């Protein structure tokens, strides 16, 4: 995870990348108790009809106080095979979660840690989603592919 953090900081610091969703990420360390809850897909920012397909699949993530999670229709860690629809690559599973730094955000004066959750599962490899907002209730942001594209799944907390 530390290696991923260093790569993210290096890319952001070099100025060669612009993630249009970076301003949404949580840069103030949240209290874990405020992260616990059920998150459902609010919007899918994808190409064309694929957004509507994904929005109809009931994507959700439940983060329990005991450190367990249940994911339904989330993107896998690995890239999808060429020609496959993104919606066909979504996966579900159970595992454990913990609060972690998942990226770095350059606000023009300094690089700040972006907070999210690291998901660990024997059933599937999931991305480590970023949290959104700097005060509760937090949301979740999962970037899809190249951050420059702006493609993402945005979740809101409902419980």
Q: Is a pLDDT exceeding 90 seen at residue 106? A: no
Give the predicted TM-score (pTM) of the model: 0.85
pLDDT of the residue at 36: 98
Tell me how far the alpha carbon of residue 156 is from its chain's centroid. 12
What mean pLDDT value characterizes the chain?
Answer: 87
User: Tell me, what DSSP letter sits at residue 151?
Assistant: -
User: Tell me, what DSSP letter sits at residue 41?
Assistant: E
pLDDT of the residue at 100: 97
* Partner residues linked to 157 by β-bridges: 39
pLDDT digits (tens, 9 = 90+) for 15-42: 446 789 999 999 999 999 999 999 999 9
Alpha helices in 1-159 (DSSP H): 2-14, 32-35, 50-55
Contacts of residues 58-61 at CB distance under 8 Å and 24 or more positions apart, as own/partner, are 59/90, 59/153, 59/155, 60/155, 61/129, 61/140, 61/155
pLDDT digits (tens, 9 = 90+) for 51-79: 899 999 999 999 999 999 999 999 988 76
Expressed in percent and rounded to 5, the helix, strand and coil fractions of the chain are: 20, 40, 40
Sorted by where each begins, the domain ranges of the chain are: 2-157
């Amino acid at each position: 995870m530390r290696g991923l953090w260093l790569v993210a900081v290096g890319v952001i610091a070099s100025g060669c990348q612009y993630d249009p969703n970076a301003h949404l990420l949580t840069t103030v360390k949240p209290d874990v108790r405020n992260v616990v809850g059920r998150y459902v897909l609010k919007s899918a920012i994808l190409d064309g009809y694929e957004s509507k397909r994904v929005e109809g699949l009931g994507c959700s993530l439940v983060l329990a106080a005991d450190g367990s999670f249940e994911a339904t229709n989330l993107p896998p860690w690995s890239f999808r095979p060429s020609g496959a629809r993104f919606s066909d690559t979504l996966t579900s599973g159970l595992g454990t979660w913990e609060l972690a730094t998942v990226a770095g955000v350059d606000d023009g004066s300094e690089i700040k840690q972006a907070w999210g959750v690291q998901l660990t599962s024997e059933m599937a490899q999931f991305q480590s989603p970023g949290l959104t907002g700097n005060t509760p209730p937090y949301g979740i942001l999962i970037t899809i592919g190249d951050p420059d594209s702006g493609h993402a799944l945005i979740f809101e907390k409902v419980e």
